[in-house]
Amino acid sequence: MKRILLMTVAALLAVGCSCSKKTEQTEQVKPQDRITILHVNDFEQLVKKGEMRVIDVRTRSEYAEAHIAGAENIDVNQPDFIERLRLKGDVAVYCRTGKRSARAAMLIAEQGYNVYDLGGGIMAWRQAGKSTVR
């Protein structure tokens, strides 16, 4: 009986130790380490590949004025922003100048996903002569 109890305690300790190691490994990656700010040309290449969701985090009216082709509009200022994203993988984000997308990127990175943020936002995109759609 003592032997069974001892083996049970040992097994529980082993499971507990392995779980804490996974937690420690996960905690080593800080949310800010999951965010990559990209220059317009690098962001454009990412968009052209079509392998990643591109999220315009501006308001609906800003999105209607002009946005990057293929981008989805999910306003970061909405309280259900993360829920509306229905994250399934890494994403690319942008806003007008980069401030809101930086906030969105942090919220997404905190969920454990990698985020690619357009440095300077759509203003930098347009200034570089890149096309937009309505």
**Domain CATH code at residue 106:** 3.40.250.10
Between 27 and 108, the more confident residue is: 108
Q: Kindly calculate the radius of gyration of the chain based on its CA atoms and give it in whole angstroms.
A: 21
Among 86, 132, 131, 87, smallest CA distance to 113 is for: 87
Q: Can you tell me whether residue 70 is helix, strand or coil?
A: coil
Q: Are 134 and 71 a contacting pair, CB within 8 Å? A: no
Q: Is the pTM of this model over 0.85?
A: no
Strands (E), 1-134: 35-38, 53-56, 72-73, 91-94, 115-118
Judge whether 42 lies within some domain.
Answer: yes
Between 28 and 15, the more confident residue is: 28
Among 123, 132, 126, 130, smallest CA distance to 69 is for: 132
What is the number of domains present in the chain? 1
Judge whether 92 lies within some domain.
Answer: yes
Please give the residue range of the domain that contains residue 64: 28-127
Q: Can you tell me whether residue 9 is helix, strand or coil?
A: helix
Average of pLDDT values for 6-20?
A: 47
Convert the pLDDT of each residue in 54-101 to its tens digit: 999 999 999 999 999 999 999 999 999 999 999 898 999 999 999 999
Kindly tell me if the per-residue pLDDT of 25 is higher than 60: no
pLDDT of residue 97: 96
Token pair in block for residue 53:
């969701």
Mean pLDDT of the chain: 85
Judge whether 9 lies within some domain.
Answer: no
Judge whether 11 lies within some domain.
Answer: no
Between 109 and 4, the more confident residue is: 109
